[in-house]
A and B are shown apart, each in its own frame.
Chain A
Amino acid sequence: DGGITQSPKYLFRKEGQNVTLSCEQNLNHDAMYWYRQDPGQGLRLIYYSQIVNDFQKGDIAEGYSVSREKKESFPLTVTSAQKNPTAFYLCASTGVYTVNTEAFFGQGTRLTVV
């Protein structure tokens, strides 16, 4: 099946620990995105990448880091510098050099930091 997979679905961490969220796609999409959603709120862009080995900060990049070593993978690390890391994290991918740039999302990771 073609799609975008996020893992794990639920994640619990102690305050002060770094944690890495996985996002993998087999849609052959060039661009990948990470969003954060707080309860009752919209989606805010953390980082995005339009090509391997390159990525750009979104609106709320502080306290987060990413890498894009492979086209299929765009992991997000939530560092201890992120003041309020508990949230719902969503990953998306789209084509870039294609006529159709429809975005598809993974099922999300709910991170709880205690």
Chain B
Amino acid sequence: GIQVEQSPPDLILQEGANSTLRCNFSDSVNNLQWFHQNPWGQLINLFYIPSGTKQNGRLSATTVATERYSLLYISSSQTTDSGVYFCAAGNKLVFGAGTILRVKS
């Protein structure tokens, strides 16, 4: 089955800094999503992005389907951006291990 790998596993930022999270997947997919898990465990949909680029405020994402990776950009980070970021792909909605982001004030 499809394998999904995320990097880096941990990231510590100073408030206001920018960051890039990466998601690699092992096979062609027709779906790719990014989620943010809040401290209560809820998964918040950030982007549904099988290909191309999307932007939502300070966040944007790009998926290059032919090269089997996706990037999540966070600009001008805030403490409220802290948490775990997951990507998921494929018909079985396989998740990567996540990136733990800590933004310090």
Chain B residue contacts of A102, Cβ below 8 A: 31, 33, 45, 48
Q: In residues 45-93 of chain B, which contact A (Cβ within 8 Å)? A: 45, 48, 86, 88, 91-93
- Nearest CB on B from A27, distance (A): 13
Interface majority SS on A: helix, strand, loop or mixed? strand
A2 within 8 A of B: no
Q: Bound complex: CA of A50 vs CA of B92, how far in Å?
A: 10
A58 within 8 A of B: yes
| A45 and B92 contacting across the interface, CB-CB below 8 Å | yes
| B42 and A103 contacting across the interface, CB-CB below 8 Å | no
- Nearest CB on B from A44, distance (A): 8
Closest to A90 in B: B43
Q: In residues 1-37 of chain B, which contact A (Cβ within 8 Å)? A: 30-31, 33, 35
Q: In residues 92-114 of chain A, which contact B (Cβ within 8 Å)? A: 92, 94, 100-105, 107-108, 110
| A107 and B88 contacting across the interface, CB-CB below 8 Å | no
- Nearest CB on B from A59, distance (A): 9
- Nearest CB on A from B48, distance (A): 4
Q: In residues 59-114 of chain A, which contact B (Cβ within 8 Å)? A: 88, 90, 92, 94, 100-105, 107-108, 110
